[in-house]
Structure 1
Amino acid sequence: SYSERQNFAADTSRMVGFLNALIENQKVEKPDISVNSTHLYNGMIVGIKKQYYEVHFNQDFSAYTLTPINLVNNNIELIDKE
């Protein structure tokens, strides 16, 4: 159901799994990655080095696509880089 998918995506351990996959797939280091959320959702923004992407997931969050985007405001404040 939709709410089960929402609960799955809200689980912060899912974010860790996504970030680990992103690091491996993009061949970057952990400090090169930043995100605008602590849980997975369609349309979230991820920064990889100096480029930003909008993330879209398939229905069960087992696959994703990255679409390059340009930010209106480039003055981003990083809250926690871990």
Structure 2
Amino acid sequence: MNHQHFNSLFNYAVIAILLIALIVTLVVYSRHRLQIRYRDLSMIFVLILLFFTGLQITNMEKSATTANQSSQMVPFIHAVAKDHHLKNSQVMVNSTTLTDGVIVRFNKEDYRVNMSPNGDNYTLERAHVVNHQVHVQR
């Protein structure tokens, strides 16, 4: 999460710097119309600005998709807890996004989740993990 936040701040900073540089080169170009190097420089700034704006839009879409997938995990944990007569805090998962193959742990046993194609139901299949030294983060 911190890495994504840093990337967004970096992209915003680069976009702001490029906008300022673009404005400066356009002002200088408007004063010295015979020197086309300022026009070329402003075109370079526009292209780089478009590139970083596209990167930022892609990052925002990826963050929205991840947040949407993460929001699906909470109802899944509630459903597993209800189906197996457990408290929500007793159900642990190995991922923040609900996908096929997620490992669920409760009652000191591990299960692999098999999701239906439309995602409205699931089956749990007993799984055996290789590394039993698992650090649980709450």
Instruction: State TM-score, norm by structure 2.
Output: 0.50
The structure with the largest strand share of the pair is 1
1:28-74 per-residue CA deviation (whole Å, 9 max, x = no partner) reads: 11221110001111111000120000001001110000001111111
In structure 2, stretches of 5+ residues that fail to align are 1-64
Q: Could you tell me which residue of structure 2 aligns to residue 3 of structure 1? A: none
Larger radius of gyration: 2
Give the length in aligned residue pairs.
74
Q: Following the alignment from structure 2 to structure 1, what is the Cα–Cα distance between the partners of residues 114 and 89?
A: 22
Shift of residue 11 of structure 1? 2.0
The structure with the largest helix share of the pair is 2
Q: Following the alignment from structure 1 to structure 2, what is the Cα–Cα distance between the partners of residues 11 and 54?
A: 18
Alignment of 1:66 with 2:115, yes or no, is no
Q: Could you tell me which residue of structure 1 aligns to residue 89 of structure 2? A: 31
Tell me the SS of whatever aligns to 1:11: helix
Q: Following the alignment from structure 2 to structure 1, what is the Cα–Cα distance between the partners of residues 94 and 115?
A: 16
Q: Could you tell me which residue of structure 2 aligns to residue 11 of structure 1? A: 69
Q: What's the % identity of the aligned pairs? A: 29
Q: Could you tell me which residue of structure 2 aligns to residue 79 of structure 1? A: 137
Instruction: State TM-score, norm by structure 1.
Output: 0.81
Q: Following the alignment from structure 1 to structure 2, what is the Cα–Cα distance between the partners of residues 21 and 69?
A: 19
Shift of residue 17 of structure 1? 0.8
CA RMSD of the aligned region, Å? 1.8
Give 4+ residue runs of structure 1 displaced > 6 Å after superposition: none
